[in-house]
Every structure is written in structure tokens, then in C-alpha cells.
Structure 1
Amino acid sequence: MVAPLKVGIAGLGTVGAEVVRLIEQQARTLSARSGRGVQVVAVTARSKAKKRKLDLRGVAWAKNPLDLANDPGIDCFVELMGGAGEPALSAIEAALKSGKSVVTANKALIAKHGLRLAKLAEKHGGALNYEAAVGAAIPVIKTLREGLAGTSVHRVYGILNGTCNYILTRMEQEGLSFAECLKDAQRLGYAEANPSFDVDGHDTAQKLAILASLAFGTAVAQNAVYVEGISSITPEDLRAAEELGYRVKLLGVAVRTAKGIEQRVHPTMVPKSSSIAQVMGVTNAVTIDGEGIPPITLVGPGAGGAATASAVIADIADVARGIRAKPFGRPVEQLRVTSKAPMERHEGGYYIRLMARDLAGTAATIATRLAEQKISIESIVQRHANGVDTALAKGKSSPVPVILITYATSEDAVYRALEAVQRDKVISGRPQVIRIEKN
């Protein structure tokens, strides 16, 4: 008989409590699939007195996470406290140094200290598993690290933040403003009281940095990711996208280019025919483009206690099986350092919305400035405020919305052209620019 895997859990919030419940409920299945039993033998949390509706009889309480990590009576330390620093960092380091395996759902910690922790795991022989850190129940970490180990990945991109996807979905379907949808997301618990980490794109950037490392063999570097949020998106942009055959999503995109690995987070227009365009609400999705295979899209819940707990338990099961994969798919010393790719070099199609003044020669001026930068236009839509498509009309006092879709060009060229148009004073306000990501 193989002795059961003895697990210690730090953090008994929504996810931690669900992990304890599922391990108890799925004991037989876990044992059958892992070849040994899995037992929670010790826990720690900020409040022992808090009512959690958990049966913790026979489970030891550690004074703090560090004590639990150093407990010789556990084989696997599960960190579910969160935070990029203490006490999670010191506790995980202690567990790894003692030869224990570690399972965590902490994306912030992996994005900031993942390489440091991976070195300890490699040196001392424990596993460092973090499937729940990106996409919760979506098994994207294992897919990139193990399932596609023999495939050269060209691009990985996805919807990695349910809050932003929920807001954009509501804006599109109901014609609401960003502010209205954000307020509702906060009321429903999808967004925090201070939502900037989500809506400004930083949550997605942390997850993308992890995926890029696994996909391209680069050192995890959140500071190498260009980040732009969704607060500038308007219902007008979403209506225009609909008419042009696109849908707007906040995407994290990592792509191999001739100039290096480009990592970026920003609102993106994707063809409505694409798999990722069909992902609505709080759902997450990741698409992987690899050599010799059609794109693979993984879709599922990206957050929530049950979804995250399922990924945590899958990682625990791997530890019980004796699997010790390199945390980032290859030895840390083989991971290449990457720098932030200047967005000026980015090449692709663009959506541009201008508020053009009703002046003689406005259309010609805009066309000239685009031509000077060798920007070709795929389509142009000009309309009055009542939504009727028309040519730019003379004699109207209010600006006329002009929407342009470009063929592939450089970001630098787009902004040079728009700066020239602004100097010509034929538009009012700032142009709206959204990048287009093709299938």
C-alpha cells in the first residue's frame, strides 16, 4: 500500500474551503486516479474562529503559513492566500527548500517570483504547480507545458479576465456605457470596489506573461507586456464593430515575430466568425496557434471557487502521481530573457474612428495623410449622428463620425498619420484606435 499524500492548505477562503470539500467528496476518485489517497492533514488561515461549514475534525491548525510550510507531517503545501509578496512568498520558499511540492493559484506571485521559485523546485526535487493561476478550470498550463511539448507555438492569445469580458458583453448587447456596466459588475461581485487592476489590463498582463514563458521558452517578465485597458471603449465602437463583422474583446496576445516575442494586452477587434469572438460574459478562452496544427481554443470558467478548486486538485493529483514537470516546461537556466517590444513596431490592421469636421476638403486631407504613410484602407464608413451612412456633407455644423479599417500596417505609421490629421484641424477630439487580430 502506498501511503496517502498528506496536504497542508494555507488559506481557507472561497477557493481553499472548496478544495477541502472536494478532496473529501472525491476521495475515492482521487485515490483511483492518483494511485494513492489524498488527505488534508493541516491548515492555516487568518481566523480559526470563522465559521466555514467545513468538517475539520482531525485536521491540525498551524499558527501561520510559514509553520505549515515547515511542518514535516505534510508532503504538499497548497498556497491559496494570494498576493505577490508575504506571507505567501516565504512560505512557498520554505516548503520548496524542504523538498515539499507546492500547488498555488497565485498568478501575481508566479508572474513576479516564478523563476526564483522554479529554481528552488528544480534544486530540491519538489513540484511547483500553478494551473489555477491562469484561466482557473481551463487546463492551459498543462496544454502548453506538456500537451504541446513537441509543437512549436507561433501565437497564444485569449480572454483572460472575466470582468472585462462581462463589461464588453453587456455594452455590446445592451448599448450601455462602460461606466454603467462597470457599476453593475461591481454590484454583482464581478468587479472589485477598485476595479483598475482588472479593467486597466494588469490582471490579464500577469497571466499573459506566464503563458508567454510556457509558449516560447522566455523568462516570465510582466514588465515586457504592453498594457492598455478597456475604459476608452464606447457603445459606438461596438456598434461599428458589429456592422463591420467584428467583436471587441480585451485580449492578451503573445506572438513570435521576426523582431522577437511581442506581448500585449489591449482591446482588440476579432472577426465574429472566430472561436474567441463567441466567448461572452465572464467566461475565459485561450487560443494556441502552433506549427502543423489548426488553432486550439480552450474555453471555460476563468474564476470562481469551484472552477479554481478543480484546477488546484488536478495539480495535487499530479503531485500524488509523482509527476515533477519543469515549472515552465524547461530548466530555468534555459529560459531566454525577453525585453518589451515597442508597440510602434507592431504590424496589423486597425480600426480608426474620427470625428471629422464638415469642412470642404476634409475627406481629401484625411486620405492624403494616410497615403503619405503608405496606409491602405480596406473600408470606410461615414455617417451622421442619426446613423444613416452618407458622404461627408457640407454645411453641417456638428462633426461627422468617420470609421476606417486599414489593411496591415505599422502602429508607428498609423499614429504619424493621425498626428498630421490633428495638426490639420479637420477632426475634433482624439481619434479612437483599436487593433485588429485576424484568425
Structure 2
Amino acid sequence: MAHPLSVGLAGLGTVGGGTLALLRANAELIAARAGRPITVTAVSARDRGRDRGVPLAGLRWFEDPVALATDPGVDVFVEAIGGADGPARASVEAALAAGKPVVTANKAMLAVHGAAIAAQAEATGAPLLFEAAVAGGIPAIKALREGLAANRITRVAGILNGTCNYILTMMRAEAREFAEALAEAQRLGYAEADPSFDIDGIDAAHKLAILAALAFGRPVDFGSVHVEGIRSVSALDIAFAGELGYRIKLLGIAERTAAGVSARIHPVMIPVTSPLAPVEGVFNAVAFEGDFVGRVLLEGRGAGAGPTASAIVADLIDIARGRHTPPFGMAASLLSAEPAVPITEREGAYYLRLMVVDRPGVIADISAILRDHSVSLESMLQRGRSPGEAVPVVLTTHICREAAMAAALARIGALDSVIAPPTLLRIEAL
């Protein structure tokens, strides 16, 4: 068997510790599949004295991850520090400049700086692999970049954040409000003390930017992703969605259209018959649609020590075997310059919930505004009568343009009979 592959591991948190544990637990199997042993020989982390649950004896320790990344005794550099900039970016760039292969789980760095980092990897000939950056243990990157390489991808859609999926599942299954479900997710460790990165959609948007680049052969463009989170989703909307035959999910959707590529993260209503509807709790799922393969659906755990480590080690096995492709599937010179399509160009159906004063003429006023903006109603729900008091009215529309719906919503929200900001959800037939 060939000499061991020496790994320098920067970051010994959940991901880094899990990677070290997996490499040791399955060492014999990994060596057989890699054609040689894969061994962590050097590490870098901020706190040398912290107990990480895995023994560190015998490993060389570096205070500076950049020094680790360029150390001659390291064959491949694994970045598990996190963050778009700072030590993570500096150490990855240093490793690539030295011609060393890099494996990273850093979705934020790739979403923001992926085009430049991929160009550097291509210039130096150093492999850059990042299976762990999207959907944890689900092999979404390999499936898209390698397994579906012969297809023109028309759409990517997925549940890309387990925290949000868990919260929405709890709200539906136990009729909880958002704040209650979030508190439970934090208690169980599924949500951070500051959950903004997850619940405001940023984490999912980073992942979608990477998937869109791979799917459509274009440079990573995080700035063009439309991002909305789940803070405004209420238990009332989830209950109405159920009555109408839908479930509410936070989805990432990237599509190629005649006008260019659209990429968006936002809550959607999908039919209960959709293959994404039964994906519950902390699970993720990604669906790809190709011109020859049709739809491919992958589901599994999207985060955590084990799933993420599984993806990192899969990349290390590829490096040990000498298998690698350009980071985003093709040479940088061949990436397209298709324009980004804004959310205002979306065409689809909508769910609209209004809290209105129950009095004659209200529905007529709302219908007139929708008619003025060429928005056609499909259905309406109103429960009971409470003359003079606030009642919920739910409307669903036929397919229309987002810009028209937004203009109508602004006028509806200004009516004196509408006593709370309207709630709008997009309906997707996935």
C-alpha cells in the first residue's frame, strides 16, 4: 500500500473533531477505499487546552492555521474553521498558493469568494473540494458535478437548512407559534443562541449560491440570491396551508429561464403530494432536474459532526486516489455570463392572508385591486362572521408576475379595512 496521506486539520470544533474521529474509527475501511491510509498528523485550533472528546496526543500543533496550511509535512489541508474571511480564507489561499489540495466545509467562504478561490486553485493546479459545504452528508455536490455531468440542469430545489425545517415541522405537528418552536430548537441544540444566520435564510442562501454555480456553469454569485427567512411564518398560516392541501417549507430554488438564472430562498407552500413535503425535522433534501435524467431527489442529514465529517472524508479519499475535477465542474474560462433574474420576474401562484375588519364591501375592494393588477383569484377562505371585528381572509391566486402581486399588495395593505401587514407566501408546484 502507498505511503499515508498526511492531513493538516484546521479547526477542532464539531466538524473538525468529527473528521478526526471518523478517520480513526474507520481507518481500515478508508485506507482500503483510498488505496492508502489517511492520517491527520497536524492540527490548528484556538484553544489548545480544550477537551474535544478525541485524543490529540502525537499530533503536531500549530497556533497559526496559515503555517499549518503551508507546512511541508502536510499533503492536504482541511479547513474546518468557518467564516467567509479571516483565518479560514487566509489559510485556504495559502494552501492553494503552495499547490496543496484543499478540502473545506466552508459554505460562507465559497459563496462569497468562491469564484476567486476556484480561479486560484485552477491556476496552481491544486484540487479544491467542498462536498461538506452543502447539505452535510448528502452527496449533493458529487451528484451534480459528476453524476449528472451529462445533463443540462434546469432547476435545483431543496430544503437546505435543518434548523428551519425543524421549526416549521414543530409548528405544524404541535400547533406551536414560531417563538415557541425556536426556543425548543435551541434547547435541543438544533439552533444557535443567535439563530439569525439560520432563520433569516443566510445559511441556506450560501448553499444555494454554490449549487446554482455548479448547476448552471456560472461563477458563484451570492449577491444575486433573493433571501427571505421564516420569522414571519405563523401557526395560523401553517394551519390554513394544511386546509388547502399544502405544507410550508423554507426552500432554495435556482432555475434557468430564457432571461437568465434566478436563485431565491424563501418560505413556500408546496403540495402535500410533493416529494419534498414529507421531509421533516432536521433533515435536508435536494432535488435536481436534468434534461435527460429527469428529477433526482437526495435526502438525509444536512448538518452535524457525523454527516459533515462523512463528506469531508469522501473528498479526502478522492484526493488520495487522484480523482478531482475543476471546482465548479468546468474551466473558469468556460463559465457562462448569464444574467441574474430578479425575484420581481417570478411567475407563479400566491397565498395571501389578510386580517380585515368584517364589514360589507371589504372583499369587493380587495378583488378590485387584484383585478387592476391582472391578478386572478383561484380560491378564498373565510371562517365565520364577526361584524366590526378583525377576521382572517385567505386568498390564493392563479399564476401571475411577482411585480404585479407586489404592486397589488402595497395597495391592499394601505386599505383602512386591513388592520395588519398582509402575509404573502409563494406557491410552488414541486
Shorter-chain TM-score tier: over 0.9
| 8 Å CA contact retained: 2:254, 2:263 | yes
Aligned to 1:388: none
Judged with a 3 Å threshold, the aligned counterparts in structure 2 of structure 1 residues 212 and 334 are, in CA distance, closer, same or farther, namely: same
Counterparts of 1:178-197 in structure 2 under 5 Å? Answer: 178-197=178-197
Shift of 1:339: 5.1
Aligned to 1:374: 374
Judged with a 3 Å threshold, the aligned counterparts in structure 2 of structure 1 residues 86 and 366 are, in CA distance, closer, same or farther, namely: same
How far apart in 1 are the matches of 2:52 and 2:189? 20
| 8 Å CA contact retained: 1:221, 1:338 | no
Q: Which amino acid aligns with 2:16?
A: G
Shift of 1:337: 4.1
1:254 matched to 2:278? The reply is no
How far apart in 2 are the matches of 1:337 and 1:32? 42
Aligned to 1:343: 343
Which moved further from structure 2: 110-119 or 297-306? 110-119
| 1:317 aligned counterpart, secondary structure | helix
Q: Which amino acid aligns with 1:353?
A: R
Judged with a 3 Å threshold, the aligned counterparts in structure 2 of structure 1 residues 417 and 31 are, in CA distance, closer, same or farther, namely: same
1:431 matched to 2:422? The reply is yes
| 8 Å CA contact retained: 1:224, 1:338 | no
Aligned to 1:330: 330
Shift of 1:12: 1.2
How far apart in 2 are the matches of 1:371 and 1:63? 65
Which moved further from structure 2: 281-290 or 32-41? 32-41
| 8 Å CA contact retained: 2:202, 2:227 | yes
Aligned to 1:42: 42
Residue among 373, 382, 405 paired with 2:396: 405
RMSD (CA atoms): 1.5
| 8 Å CA contact retained: 2:10, 2:43 | yes
Aligned to 1:228: 228
How far apart in 1 are the matches of 2:52 and 2:225? 39
1:419 matched to 2:389? The reply is no
Deviations 1:43-66 (A, max 9, x none): 111122222343333322223211
Shift of 1:340: 4.6
Deviations 1:212-244 (A, max 9, x none): 000001111111011111111111100010011
Shift of 1:299: 0.6
| 8 Å CA contact retained: 1:126, 1:324 | no
Aligned to 1:241: 241
1:24 matched to 2:30? The reply is no
| 8 Å CA contact retained: 1:226, 1:340 | no
Q: Which amino acid aligns with 1:409?
A: C
Judged with a 3 Å threshold, the aligned counterparts in structure 2 of structure 1 residues 88 and 369 are, in CA distance, closer, same or farther, namely: same
| 1:278 aligned counterpart, secondary structure | coil
Deviations 1:242-263 (A, max 9, x none): 0111000011111111221111
Aligned to 1:120: 120
| 1:31 aligned counterpart, secondary structure | helix
| 8 Å CA contact retained: 1:102, 1:127 | yes
Q: Which amino acid aligns with 1:341?
A: V
How far apart in 2 are the matches of 1:121 and 1:87? 18
Q: Which amino acid aligns with 1:214?
A: L
Aligned pair count reads 430
How far apart in 1 are the matches of 2:419 and 2:53? 59
Counterparts of 1:77-88 in structure 2 under 5 Å? Answer: 77-88=77-88
How far apart in 1 are the matches of 2:395 and 2:372? 16
| 8 Å CA contact retained: 2:46, 2:63 | no
| 2:39 aligned counterpart, secondary structure | strand
Between the aligned residues of both structures, percent identity stands at 49
Aligned to 1:201: 201
Aligned to 1:143: 143
Aligned to 2:91: 91
Aligned to 1:172: 172
How far apart in 1 are the matches of 2:224 and 2:142? 23
Aligned to 2:289: 289
| 8 Å CA contact retained: 1:8, 1:77 | yes
Shift of 1:292: 2.7
Deviations 1:152-207 (A, max 9, x none): 11110111111111111111111111111112212222111211111111111111
How far apart in 1 are the matches of 2:39 and 2:172? 46
TM-score by length of 1: 0.94
| 8 Å CA contact retained: 2:259, 2:339 | no
| 8 Å CA contact retained: 2:69, 2:94 | yes
Q: Which amino acid aligns with 1:83?
A: G
**Structure 2 unpaired stretches of 5+:** none
Shift of 1:412: 1.4
Which moved further from structure 2: 371-380 or 176-185? 371-380
How far apart in 2 are the matches of 1:355 and 1:63? 57
Shift of 1:17: 1.6
How far apart in 1 are the matches of 2:356 and 2:298? 41
| 8 Å CA contact retained: 1:10, 1:79 | yes
